[in-house]
Amino acid sequence: MTAARIRRLTLNNFRTYHTAQIDIAANLVVLVGPNGAGKTNLIEAISFLAPGRGLRRATLTEVAFMEGDGSWAMASDVEGALGLATLGTGIEAPANEDTTVTRKCRIDREPVPSASAFADHLRVVWLVPAMDGLFNGSASERRRFLDRLVLAVDAEHMSRVNALERALRSRNRLLEDPRPDPHWLDAIEHETAELAVAVTALRVETVDRLKAALAARKDPASAFPAAAIALDGWMEQLVALHPAVEVEDRYRATLRNNRARDAAAGRTLEGPHLTDLSVIHAGKGIAAAEASTGEQKALLIGLVLAHAGLLAEMSGFAPVLLLDEVVAHLDPSRRVALYAELDKLGAQAWMTGADAAAFSEIEARADVLEVTPGRVVRKV
């Protein structure tokens, strides 16, 4: 399987790095160093090659170098689906505190509308410690995780999700009026229904594809047990069985009939903005939330690996994987199993960790970089 690869990463005024440049030759990249050295900052920069706010969900100004002028930039030379290219993104120094900050994106130094254009060259998938509580957390966290999976399949998905959220906020504001204009409500509910069905349909399609990928990976002896996944919501059940226009009409009717109830609640009480992702430990037939901490981590890794495999199958190119502090929580047998899975996938994987010994099995064939505050050097 062909894989997208980052060959050079250049940072300017990003997080703890005034300047940094890394040249990469291997499929496996290991960043080692003490906690707080800046390992996660490096892979966070790579995550900005995907649409959205990166793996920490930071605002554009939060990632700027503290002692800089407020600007930041990252660039990456990649071998991707369209051959060699240089992808870059960042912000300019704000003129003042009231300046609206916009992210600029370039491909081979030519401006492009957004980071969605980078998806033509590579896809980026990540797993970070903040996801460890996914199965025990709120539905909104699982929904965000789901939308990140979908976004890797369709780079325009998040723009539709954001448009849906704006439409719902507009409807909620209209309902605050004791006598809202019915024509305005009809118009916003018409738009809301169209966006809701578009968002739902792509979620359902992605989950169906991922189910097949998980089924193909199912192996009782695997260190990473297969998960059974499903979407919880009436709209999700309907879009697979009925034309989109019929589902839109039903949701419009639901919104119209629920105006009084939603006004009293101060929010819209039905719709895909409340969808949950159900995850079952397929081998044991129990909810992922009921599995042990180690099993939950293994399930999550299995999900991410299956998703990466799905992207490789769909696009012909394996995505770049960002695995932050993943191996630190795995026992030796699961660590070896993870390295074997990465070899099988053929993806370029960037891994971080404080203990270099955890990467001893792959040290000879990986680019191992030692990270200290503001500095990255190749381990000799």
What is the bridge-based pairing of β-strands 320-323 and 349-353?
Answer: parallel
Q: How confident is the model at residue 97 (pLDDT cuts 50, 70, 90)?
A: confident
pLDDT at 96: 81
pLDDT at 238: 95
Taking 70 as the threshold, does the pLDDT of residue 380 lie above it? no
Q: How confident is the model at residue 100 (pLDDT cuts 50, 70, 90)?
A: confident
Separation CA 306–CA 143 (nearest Å) = 18
CA-closest candidate to residue 119, choices 319, 305, 313 = 319
DSSP state of 311: H
Please answer whether residues 330 and 302 qualify as being in contact, where contact means their C-beta atoms are separated by less than 8 angstroms. Answer: no
2 bridge partner residues: 317
Separation CA 270–CA 273 (nearest Å) = 8
Residues 26-49 have pLDDT tens digits of 999 999 999 999 999 999 999 999
Q: How confident is the model at residue 98 (pLDDT cuts 50, 70, 90)?
A: confident
Please list, residue by residue across 191-205, b when 16 or more beta carbons sit within 10 angstroms of its beta carbon and e when fewer do: bbbbbbbbbbbbbbe
Taking 90 as the threshold, does the pLDDT of residue 218 lie above it? no
What percentage of the chain carries pLDDT values higher than 90?
A: 90
CA-closest candidate to residue 300, choices 122, 128, 52 = 128
> Residue 219 carries which side chain, given as an amino acid letter?
D
Residues 171-205 have pLDDT tens digits of 999 999 999 999 999 999 999 999 999 999 999 99
Residues 140-165 have pLDDT tens digits of 999 999 999 999 999 999 999 999 99
pLDDT at 165: 97
Q: How confident is the model at residue 253 (pLDDT cuts 50, 70, 90)?
A: very high
Separation CA 133–CA 205 (nearest Å) = 25
Taking 80 as the threshold, does the pLDDT of residue 107 lie above it? yes
Compute CA distances 49 → 12, 85, 349, 366, whole Å. Answer: 15, 12, 15, 22
Q: Is the dihedral of CA 139, 142, 148, 149 positive or negative?
A: negative
pLDDT at 221: 82
What percentage of the chain carries pLDDT values higher than 70?
A: 99
Sequence-distant (≥ 6) Cβ neighbours of residue 69 within 8 angstroms: 13, 93
pLDDT at 1: 60
The pair phi, psi for residue 13, each rounded to 5°, is 55, 40
pLDDT at 219: 83
Query: What is the overall mean pLDDT for the chain?
Result: 94
87 bridge partner residues: 76, 107
pLDDT at 171: 97
CA-closest candidate to residue 232, choices 194, 270, 267 = 270
